[in-house]
Structures are given as C-alpha cells and as structure tokens.
Amino acid sequence: METPVSLMIILFAFPVGFLVFLIVSLTRKKRYATLLFTQGIEYIKLLRSLLTYVQQHRGLTTGFINGNLGAKPDIEKMAMKIKRVMSELDQAGDWIRGNVKWSSLVDHWTRLGVTYMQGDAEKNFKQHNILIANLLYLIDDVADVHHLSKITGDAMDTDWRYLLSIAEYIGQARALGTGVAAKGECSSVLRIQLNHLRNKIASSIDASWPDSSRAEIQKLLRCIETQLIVDHPTIQPSDYFTLATQCIEHVLNQFDRQIDRLQYYRN
C-alpha cells in the first residue's frame, strides 16, 4: 500500500521544521548570552572605575577632615569623576537603572558627597565603607546575573572578586593612614585598626604577582609600621596617599588582567 504524498510531506516536514526551530532557538539563546555577557563586562569596568574613585574620595576627605586642607581641590575633582561615571552607568543599560542596590548607592552618594564638610572623620570613614561594601555587593550581582563567572571555572571567579577585597583593605588603610599623617598623631584605636589592615594586606599578597607589585606593597606595610603607628607619625599625608594609591593600582591591574582573560575565553 503506497503512502499518500501528503502524509509523506508531513512526515518529512515535521522533523525538518523541528530542526529549524531548534537551530533558531539555540542561535537566539547564544546571541542573548553574548549580549548579556558583553553588557556585564561594560558594567564591571564602569563599576571598577566608580569603586576606585569612591575609595580615593574616602582617603582624601579623611585627610582633609584631619587637617590636610590642601586636599580640597582634589576632593572636588574626584566628586566630578564620580558624578561622570555614575551618569555613564545610568546610561549603560536597563538592568542597572532598575536595580534597587544601584538606586540606593546613588542616593547614598548624593548625601555622602557633602557630609564630609561636617568634619566627623569617623562617621565619614564608616559611611564610605558602607557605600563601598554595597558597591562590591552590586559587582557580585552583575557577575551572577550576567554569567561572568562561568567561562573558566570557579577558581578564576574567586580570584578576580577577591582582588577587589584586597584593594579595599589597602583603600581603608590609605584613608586611615592619611588621616593619621594629616593629624600628626595615631590614637590607640587607630593603631589597632591599621595593624589589623596591615595583617590583612600582608596575608593577601600573592607570590605570582610581579616583583614590583609585591615590593611596593611591602614598602607600604613597612611605612605603616615605622611611620604611622608610632607616637609621632613622620610621613606627609600626600606622600602616604600616593604610596597607598600605587599599591591599589598594582592590585587593580591584576583585576583588569583577569577581566581581559574573561573576555578572551568568552570570545
């Protein structure tokens, strides 16, 4: 008995149609994943810049409150940089514009950007720390939502995120130390805090980093020990701020290399 032509067409067309549907679906899924990843990388790079500027703002304002009045022009320049990057992030995509953490960060910065003028160093430091912690949480969210940790495995994922934590340890030490250098004295509380951060930084140094990076960070650790947590601090606030900033840049250069590797493996 011969199979009707119409039935043969149906039997042939169904698997072909399904195959076409599958190919189109997979292509769309791949295109969407690529778009999501690319958007995530853009967010991460902008948030990295924002993190750097807010950390510097914390250090400069801490020095200013403690007597380094010459830092005022640099504080104003840093505030402008923060405003610019926040504007770029707002324009970067719908996801971040609709993110509650991002809205909260913008609101917090609006208030924090001017409250340092009240002259409360401890409050200024703590509020910056809260803002930066929330910024790091937002970076984690970006990494999770945009699948930035699924290219080369968990080891790399832990690595590049942990680098931001190391940069923050140094950032906090930069702020507290700049304040100590500006004031010319180190209280027992600040000694404990700086010692704690010094130990955190020392235990975070990676043997795989370039010799120049490790040497610069060791120089910072010696500076904290011999020129800050002493009865009479002997380093100028601008010199200490510059040294600590160079150390942060070394760490963030490692971070940038990890992000470049993410892009390389993804492409």
- Please write the tens of the pLDDT for every residue from 206-216: 888 899 999 99
Residue 62 lies in a domain: yes
Residue 122 lies in a domain: yes
Please give the pLDDT value at position 5: 59
Q: Which residue has better confidence, 114 or 60? A: 60
Residue 73 lies in a domain: yes
Provide the CA 18 distance to its chain's centre, in angstroms: 45
Q: What average pLDDT is seen over the chain?
A: 87
Length of the chain: 267
Is 38 a residue whose pLDDT tops 50? yes
Residue 214 lies in a domain: yes
Weakest-pLDDT range from 32-36, 37-41, 112-116, 174-178: 32-36
Please give the pLDDT value at position 80: 97
Domain ranges, residue 234: 43-266
Q: Rounded CA gap, 72 and 78, in Å?
A: 10
Q: At what angle do helices 211-223 and 188-204 cross, to 10 degrees?
A: 160
Residue 8 lies in a domain: no
At 27, the pLDDT band (50, 70, 90 cuts) reads low
Please give the pLDDT value at position 104: 95
Residue 147 lies in a domain: yes
Please give the pLDDT value at position 206: 87
Q: Which of 264, 259, 265 is nearest to 44 (CA)?
A: 259
Please give the pLDDT value at position 28: 64
Is 6 a residue whose pLDDT tops 70? no
Weakest-pLDDT range from 26-35, 103-112, 183-192: 26-35
* Residue indicated by tokens 């778009």: 35
Rg (CA), the chain: 25
Q: Tens digits of per-residue pLDDT, 54-74?
A: 999 999 999 999 999 999 999
Is 7 a residue whose pLDDT tops 70? no
Please give the pLDDT value at position 265: 66
Number of folded domains that form the chain: 1
Residue 35 lies in a domain: no
Q: Which residue has better confidence, 245 or 21? A: 245
Please give the pLDDT value at position 156: 46
Structure-token pair, residue 213: 């990076």
Is 4 a residue whose pLDDT tops 80? no
Torsion sign (Cα): 159, 224, 222, 212: positive
Residue 10 lies in a domain: no
